């Protein structure tokens, strides 16, 4: 059977490996650098991320990248976005077979304003062994996937040629996918929802209610539409799994690191920035603002959130400034 290599032994890497295994593809190798995680995954668990009673398949694991990639057919990249560039370079050096790269990370490509999918495509375009790059995006917390909660995602690729080839890898009794060819719109939705999740966590953590958060997410989605239009994405994509679907699951759940970070910031202020957890929304804010300033896109919520994180204004001051904006049609 085709060999599937998972790059990353964390929560999402483990969850995606389980999905593929339960879809009938057993020839899986998980590569990672945390020896404890790798050892536990051999025993069908990953206690750093999941409870003791979580049952995973007994996976083959390795910390040898060359071995992990040997004769692979599919490579799943499941690492934080800030590591994707270095991981991609190491993968490209060690390929000895033709592969399809499947990206499950979200955010922007390191040291650029490119989406992760576009960055991976650019980085691998001269490597004849890479057949294409597909992104798996949509509302999918790893903690719920491993519990086999019903989950639906999008497989994103312009033209969908390779996406069609990997559909069956992610199709079983609890996991389903749809094809989506709007790479830009899907990536914008995936990045923007992390930003809004930070703001949502801040509001809830500061005592605001669902009325306020609903207003934030609705007006935040309006900003995302403006941003997406300037980037060249399709507006309808933001109404789908990689847009509003991902926004719901990220901005209203304590399982979201971005949401949880926002709550912590409401309590601790800038001290929360010292967290060891990966908060993709922080990187997304920087990239979105850089693009918005260059393209002159009006994004008051993202701008205000950035000022709060920098310590230049408080949450109440930010809300007051937005409230003073001129009245207009929706």
Residues assigned a catalytic role: 193
> Where do we find the tokens 């077979």?
97
Helices (H) and strands (E) in the chain, counts: 14, 8
| Residue among 249, 67, 77, 223 at smallest CA distance from 151 | 249
Are residues 119 and 112 in contact, defined by beta-carbon separation less than 8 angstroms? yes
| Residue among 136, 133, 155, 144 at smallest CA distance from 74 | 133
**What are the structure tokens assigned to 268, written together?**
């601790």
**What are the structure tokens assigned to 99, written together?**
């592969």
Q: What angle do CA 189, 229, 83 make, to 5 degrees?
A: 40
154 is in an annotated binding site: no
31 is in an annotated binding site: no
257 is in an annotated binding site: yes
21 is in an annotated binding site: no
106 is in an annotated binding site: yes
CA 191, chain centre distance (Å): 7
90 is in an annotated binding site: no
246 is in an annotated binding site: yes
Q: From CA 175, how far away is CA 180, in angstroms rounded?
A: 16
DSSP letter for each residue of 165-192 = HHGGGG-SSSEEEEEE--HHHHHHHHHH
Q: What are the residue ranges of helices labelled H in 71-134? A: 84-94, 116-124
Q: What angle do CA 140, 146, 149 make, to 5 degrees?
A: 60
Coil, helix or strand at residue 115: strand
Please give the sequence-ordered ranges of beta strands (E in DSSP) within the chain, or none if there are none. Answer: 4-7, 28-31, 60-62, 74-77, 99-103, 130-137, 151-156, 175-180
DSSP letter for each residue of 176-237 = EEEEE--HHHHHHHHHHHHHHHHHHHHHHHTT--HHHHHHHHHHHHHHHHHHHHHHT--GGG
Residues annotated within the binding site for sn-glycerol 3-phosphate are: 106, 138, 140, 193, 246, 256-258
Q: Which residues are annotated as a binding site for NADPH?
A: 49, 106, 142, 257, 280
Q: Which residues are annotated as a binding site?
A: 49, 106, 138, 140, 142, 193, 246, 256-258, 280
């Amino acid at each position: 059977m085709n060999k599937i290599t998972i790059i990353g032994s964390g929560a999402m890497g483990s969850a995606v490996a389980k999905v593929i295994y339960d879809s009938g593809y057993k020839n899986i190798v998980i590569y990672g650098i945390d020896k404890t995680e790798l050892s536990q995954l051999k025993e069908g668990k990953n206690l750093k991320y999941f409870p003791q009673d979580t049952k995973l398949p007994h996976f083959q694991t390795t910390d040898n990248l060359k071995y992990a990639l040997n004769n692979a057919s599919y490579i799943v990249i499941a690492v934080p976005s800030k590591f994707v560039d270095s991981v991609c370079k190491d993968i490209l050096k060690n390929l000895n077979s033709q592969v399809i790269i499947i990206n499950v990370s979200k955010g922007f490509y390191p040291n650029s304003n490119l989406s992760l999918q576009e960055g991976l495509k650019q980085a691998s375009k001269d490597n004849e062994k890479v057949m294409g790059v597909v992104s798996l995006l949509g509302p999918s917390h790893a903690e719920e996937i491993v519990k086999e909660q019903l989950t639906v995602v999008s497989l994103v690729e312009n033209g969908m040629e390779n996406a069609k080839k990997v559909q069956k890898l992610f199709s079983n009794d609890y996991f389903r996918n749809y094809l989506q060819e709007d790479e830009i719109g899907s990536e914008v939705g995936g990045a923007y929802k992390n930003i809004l999740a930070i703001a949502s966590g801040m509001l809830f953590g500061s005592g605001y209610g669902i009325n306020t958060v609903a207003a934030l997410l609705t007006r935040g989605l309006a900003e995302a539409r403006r941003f997406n239009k300037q980037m060249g994405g399709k507006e309808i994509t933001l109404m789908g799994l990689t847009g509003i679907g991902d926004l719901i699951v990220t901005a209203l759940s304590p399982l979201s690191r971005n949401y949880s970070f926002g709550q912590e910031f409401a309590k601790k202020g800038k001290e929360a920035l010292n967290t060891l957890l990966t908060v993709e929304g922080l990187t997304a804010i920087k990239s979105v603002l850089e693009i918005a300033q260059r393209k002159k896109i009006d994004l008051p919520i993202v701008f205000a959130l950035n000022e709060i994180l920098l310590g230049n204004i408080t949450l109440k001051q930010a809300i007051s400034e937005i409230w003073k904006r001129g009245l207009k049609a929706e």
